[in-house]
Structure 1
């Protein structure tokens, strides 16, 4: 196990990485962000100077402080992914929200230890929020304040607020049918929040998030430590732990809600 002292030091590093990332991103939000389309014939896939600049800044700080650690990032690929400690980075998750000027994009940072995510953050610097999860628990850090995060009880889908980024754009046909079944059973569904919805599950305002097989590891790994520390649960659509390569994900505050959703997702589970 990682010692409590080491966890505390890594948490402080994680908060520092969020500051470094925010410094690179915020001057470009609702400004000239240098939009490019890296999708080509596959369809619109935006990237901005904020995506690239923030990841470069995070990597530079890691190289200065923990040069022995590995890194996996959306923009610049893998660097020693076999190391004992490996950082997984998505500098601007929700680039479409970013270019639309909507403050629901986030910076996702997680840390693997011996292949398993153990520490993570979901940062929204425009709102001044860092949702941090570790073996010491999960908390929201905002300004000089910090408060513990806890999921809320939700005993079934009929009581649940659920979320997904964009089922029309990202779900394949079988996944869309499964999502429609879950949505029909839920009280309320909200779309377009990307990983900010994960943080809202940890904060106790959303009950279930369902995302597709299009997700990469950097899209989803930050959810696992954050939700574990807040009392929630993260699985794939078959109820298994998420793997190192991304894929379908179900994030729930209350396991009872997840257990009702999984049979509705089962036919499309990978």
Structure 2
């Protein structure tokens, strides 16, 4: 009986050790190489849709305190912030093995105020002057190139686990109706081209001049009228200018995409988005 008890206890210990080792390996992998990210909102349509699942390349820009993952599981009361794990790297706005982001990159970064992970497109580099006039981005006094990109169409109704409803250019649309937005192809200085969407004319379509400080970046969502980004100052709970050390990594490729409430609902996966490049 004693031998059986010892074997049982030993088996439990080995199981716990295996789980701990697996978590440590996963934590190292997520911290140093690739971090999974699931798109929760429509601010980057149609480049990224609600339910897209991707891995963020952390090696591109090097490492800072923001490279440590925050562990948030509200259901069980777990809320471990990246600063709790790697706060000793915070404060000097530098990075280890740092690489410079390029204009047009789609970047996951740590929100300077809330600490939550955001994903947006890099529009303004340090020293740039950025202004939006009648919905057109101007960088250092020059309007970006725009071409007609047709229409973006989707079915109106609750989307993703948060059950967010899309805003439509063709007015309020009932569930199951066709929600339409105008699409344009925007080409930034340096040659990166991508689609942007328009819903309506609103205050964020006309702004003052933002002068990007050294060591900071200016981000915008591709779904321009449905994005909280650098156009909103941090004092108003917006993104404002993002410090270099807050960058987490670059989003390069969608692995798969779920149109349902959960990424595990494989019957709702979008067949046309497997391993789709992000541009």
With the shorter chain as reference, the TM-score category is under 0.3
- The structure whose residues are more often strand, as a share, is 2
- The structure whose residues are more often helix, as a share, is 1
TM-score (ref. length: structure 2): 0.24
TM-score (ref. length: structure 1): 0.25
Higher relative contact order (CA 8 A, sep 6+): 2
